[in-house]
Amino acid sequence: MSFFALLFAVSGIILNHRNLVPELDISRKYLPEYLAVENWSQNSVKMTLSIGGDSILMYGASGIWLTNQRHTFVERYESGMKKGVDNRNVAKIVMTSDEDIFAVTTFDLYRLDKKANTWNNITSLLKTHERLSDAAVMGDTLIVMSRSEVFTSAPPYDNFTKSMIQAPADYDGKVSLFRTIWRLHSGELFGEAGKIFVDLLGFATILFCVTGVIIFFFPGIVRRLKKRGKKISGFITMLKPSYKWHGKLGYWLTAFILILFISGAFLRPPLLITIIRSDVKPIPFSTLDSDNAWNDRLRCINYDTLQNEWLLYTSEGFFSMKDLHSQPQRISSAPRVSVMGVNIMKQVYQDCWIVGSFDGLVLWNRNNGVCIDYLTKRPLMPAYYGPPRQQVAVTGYSNDFLAGDVAFGYSFGAKYIHRNGEFIMMPDIEVPGRISLWHLALEIHTGRIYQPIIGFFADLYVFISGILLVLITLTGFIVYHRKSKRKNRTYFK
């Protein structure tokens, strides 16, 4: 288990500091085939925006691309943006009534300089360190949304006003048990100090792996070398401190290591199923103990031009608001979406919205509440509560092309929804693409990277590994505790 524990520790430390590694990425050609980008798969395109004439911007996890309504060409359109795949993961591009264009990425807000065809970074105007999630416009007013707050600005867009959305009527102050355990596992539950402490547990795990392997193998090597009359001083020099650090440090950190391993096991199936729908009171003085009812819960926002109200999607579901200062009202007739959340929320007709997630593409009539599967034009099937189904996992949608509506799937890539034909291919130089170091660490930490080797058991990788690591930790504690009680004991005779 040392090999896998090492990967857990290293990938976990990287996941804990996404903002430090956004410029680091590697080619997907060195990785399993399922991670390769082909035909705009892997969340390459989320949405499109028509920017005048027949010009269209396509954007998503692969960055920003310029094309036209007949998609006869495609080229990168990212001049001025920070380097790195993670830095160019675009959540939304919007255009105001004055034709000012803004782009929201995971970490930054950009404004397009049309004369120079360059994106200018204006993130500092928001005065926030939170991840950004969406943007919208109403007339000449720009709305940028982080994971917890909204920021509004009017021309000339050199100042933003921050505000919190009111709590809904049914707000009880509770937070999801899943989010609580997630933040406990990363240490984020207790702020930066908590994350650093979990990082130290990660480094300690690496130390335990190295010293554990030495303790496991070296005594046998020493015995064989002694029988042959060969020198063993070098092995003993490594073995003695390994016993010391593995035993004493492990003894005092056992409780924290167990919490780390057990909490991680609950973040993946099957233990995930037991907590995914449970709510608890936030732990006092933790990062979840907030006066903001929407702390880390905001995901998508858009303006409904027919109902003249804001449509808001959060980790708690869909809500409507007459304005950004009114109390959100829960929408009972909202369509079902994947537990991983909404990827697309776009008004396509006056009374209809397209809602896309890893559970499919839904056409939702807000007037009568009717929802149909937009890919099949059939009534929506009952909710599916298993793992994401790759054949319907929708990550993007566009109705800006003359040839018809296009759906973008995580695995199947780009395809027309109601006609045959091929969408414009990605440039050969972009295939199989690049992946951010953070995203690669996520694939390793969750065990998905092993799917080509172990198949179905990849979904149980974290659970099985968690059980084994807990057993190793407990038995190691018991063995050390018993040996420490024996006086005058030596490991070398």
- Asked if residue 130 is part of any domain, the answer here is yes
31 occurs within a structural domain: no
Residue 180 lies in a domain: no
Looking at the structure, do residues 298 and 425 belong to the same domain, yes or no? Answer: yes
Residue that finishes a domain, picked among 430, 450, 477:
430
Rounded mean pLDDT of 374-385? 74
* Domain coverage including residue 405: 37-171+293-430
Tens digit of pLDDT for each residue in 243-262? 999 999 999 999 999 999 99
| Model pTM score | 0.92
- Tell me, yes or no, whether 488 lies in a domain: yes
Residue 278 included in any domain: no
Shared-domain flag, residues 167 and 301: yes
Tell me what pLDDT residue 111 has.
98
Band (385; pLDDT cuts 50, 70, 90): low
* 81: pLDDT strictly greater than 70: yes
Interval 428-452 mean pLDDT: 95
pLDDT score at 384: 56
**Is 246 a domain residue?**
yes
Which pLDDT score, from 0 to 100, does residue 390 have?
56
Q: Which residues pair with 143 in a beta bridge?
A: 136, 152
Count of the separate structural domains present in the chain:
2
Q: What is the CATH number of the domain that holds 406?
A: 2.130.10.10
Residues 63 and 151 both lie in one domain: yes
The answer to the question of residue 201 being in a domain is yes
| Domain end (from 382, 401, 430) | 430
300 and 412 assigned to the same domain: yes
| 26 within some domain | no
416 and 350 together in one domain: yes
Residues 189, 160: one domain?
no
Does 400 lie in the same domain as 354? yes
pLDDT band at 487 (very low <50, low <70, confident <90, very high): low
Assess whether pLDDT exceeds 80 at residue 138: yes
- Domain co-membership, 456 together with 358: no
Q: 488: pLDDT confidence band, cut at 50, 70 and 90? A: very low
Q: Do the Cβ atoms of 118 and 57 come closer than 8 Å?
A: no
pLDDT averaged over every residue in the chain: 93
Residue 389 pLDDT: 60
- Looking at the structure, tell me whether residues 79 and 147 fall in a common domain: yes
pLDDT in tens, 152-189: 999 999 999 999 999 999 999 999 999 999 999 999 99
Which of residues 401, 430, 459 is at a domain's end?
430
235 and 379 inside one domain: no
Together in a domain, 416 and 469: no
Confidence class of residue 288 from pLDDT cuts 50, 70 and 90? very high
Whether residues 424 and 462 share a domain: the answer is no
Quick: pLDDT tens for 298-333: 999 999 999 999 999 999 999 999 999 999 999 988
Q: What is the pLDDT of residue 356?
A: 96
Instruction: From 260, 242, 248, select the one nearest 5 (Cα to Cα).
Output: 260
Quote the pLDDT of residue 220.
Answer: 92
The band of 379, judged by pLDDT with boundaries at 50, 70 and 90, is: confident
